[in-house]
Amino acid sequence: MAKMTAAAAAVKVMQSEGVELAFGIPGAAILPLYESLKDSDIKHVLVRHEEGGSHSAEGYARASGKVGVNIGTSGPAGTNMITGLYSAQADSIPILCITGQAPTDKLHKEDFQAVDIAAIAKPVTKWSITVMEGAQVPWAFRYAFHIMKSGRPGPVLIDLPLNVQKEVIEYDPDADEPMEVFKPRPSRKAINKALDMLNEAEHPLIIAGGGVINADASELLVELAELTNTPVVPTLMGWGAIADDHPLQAGQVGLQTQHRYGNATFLKSDFVLGIGNRWANRHTGSTEVYTRGRKFVHIDIEPTQIGRAFAPDLGIVSDARHALEALVAEARERKHAGRLRNRDAWTAECAERKSTMLRKTDFDDVPIKPQRVFQEINKVFDRDTRFVTAIGLYQIASGQFQQVFKPRNYIVCGQAGPLGWEISACMGAKLASPSAEVVGVVGDYSFQFMIEELAVAAQHKIPFVMVLLNNSYLGLIRQAQKAYKMDFEVQLSFENVNCEEIGDYGVDHVRACEAFGCKSFRVFDPKEIAPRIEQARALAEETQVPVIVEVITERKTDIAMGPEIDQINEFEEVLDVKRERGVEKAA
């Protein structure tokens, strides 16, 4: 046994669990942990806001599949992390937030920055604890990693009183190893029944949720789809589990981030196999419309998710990878024995919708229509590009018009949707995979929420390209306010006396980016979008700092959405493409 401080033991555990990077801000109540961190192999990135640190940890975890770590001091440091914890919990992302705390004998005396952060964090974590004894610290950290990775992944908060961190304990790191992670497996009987139901269906679909990506099971998903000849609908969190240009990728379904062909295909289906998804309401709309006329099998790692939105015809508790391994093995046997039905007519019908039921993007308008921005993004970036975006009308347009080809290449906060997420998440994603090209897609209001985090990327040489759509409006809320017949307190425009070039579009984002040590361009003409993005890519590589391409878009654009998946309002021109002698023409 070795004697060391509890803080040093905590760092030893993190190292043994594979932690290589932590985000955070040091403060008086967490300095013993930083003292031990200083002498470790764990790299630290100093952020400008604890919420930014938690979102950076999210971006890192979402891109890498590893645990993201964020560290802060007592009091407001922990409360600032709550939004990131909520975002991680909502999307099943494993991040560890560590906070300092007042000494244990001061907790009941309203000491400076003493707050019961463990109680505050409890509803948005898998586990939160204030460790009251030094000897418990290494085991609390060990259990934290076990619980973050077991079952449905999620976040943990560990709160460390100052005196507990300093306490000298006996701990032998050589005799301590990571705990076994629990991932439930399906029964063979349940798998056979699920395949029986799929095989009996005339028009089946597979819904691929974020659990497929969390389980690194995308290749198995594609193999199952190909073996059974079944079209696949990815959810927003599962986007990239099957490439957009795969013949069996059937498009997204939902009220907002959806494709015309995706919704149309779903409404024609008679059976749905959901894997690692949670039937989110923006995907389903009302369950009455969503479930009508079709049977459901739901496979999820979390037992209480099954039946939460609606009762499936068959529920299976299983990790997505284990379930897909079993489904693929059984499907291989059945295919070899000739016991899988031919569905060429159904898949051809789905492919026809995918190639014809499109939305127009080739607008030449000035100010620029956002649809054109995503057309240019698709042209410029290749199949390996990793996109990061958050919430708002720009993200809904992104979900309708962008293309994604690989898992972990569309990093989005799906359920919580906090504004200000993108800059920090881009940093985390880039640090997770330094060789990957990371591209943020952001609206002007979200960009302003946590713009100070650009300084972190500049300081630590974290390059990425960010496409900023500036309509000087809270676009999504403006569109929602139409139901109330108002346009109230959603305009961000004003005449900037320091920048005549942008007229009444308000904030001079170019100058703001430069003030934080980054580079930026502004685009008014749609023909200049692609050249400026290419220039930004080269400049980011050269300078090793973020480069922002601000696109001045039209003030008011309504993006297709509706109250039900069969009642989507198309506000702009759609294309029902007809092919004549190899030429596509709008009907």
Under DSSP, is residue 254 helix (H, G, I), strand (E, B) or coil?
A: coil
DSSP secondary structure string, 466-493? EEEEE-SB-HHHHHHHGGGT---S-B--
Token pair for 177: 């190893």
State which H helix or E strand residue 141 sits in.
Answer: helix 137-149
DSSP 390-445: -SSHHHHHHHHH----STTSEEE--SS--TT-HHHHHHHHHHH-TTS-EEEEEEHH
Other Cβ atoms less than 10 A from the Cβ of 365: the count is 12
Position 501, amino acid: E
Average pLDDT per 10 consecutive residues for the chain, totaling 587 residues: 93 97 97 96 97 97 97 97 97 97 87 89 97 97 97 97 97 93 96 96 97 97 97 97 97 96 97 96 95 97 95 97 98 93 94 94 94 96 96 93 96 90 96 96 94 97 97 90 92 89 90 96 96 96 97 94 94 70 44
Q: Which amino acid is at 395?
A: Q
pLDDT value of position 115 = 93
In degrees rounded to 5, what are phi and psi of residue 478? -60, -45
- Count of beta carbons in the 10 Å neighbourhood of residue 576: 11
DSSP string, 282-296: HHHSSHHHHHTT-EE
Q: How many CB atoms lie within 10 A of CB 234?
A: 31
Q: What is the pTM of this model?
A: 0.94
Q: Which region holds residue 123: left if phi is over 0, alpha if psi is between -120 and 50, else beta?
A: alpha
| Strand-strand pairing, 547-552 and 295-300 | unpaired
What residue ranges define each of the domains in the chain, with the CATH number in brackets? 2-175 (3.40.50.970), 188-357 (3.40.50.1220), 361-552 (3.40.50.970)
Sign of CA dihedral 307, 312, 317, 321: negative
Residue 583 pLDDT: 42
CB 355 within 8 A of CB 259: no
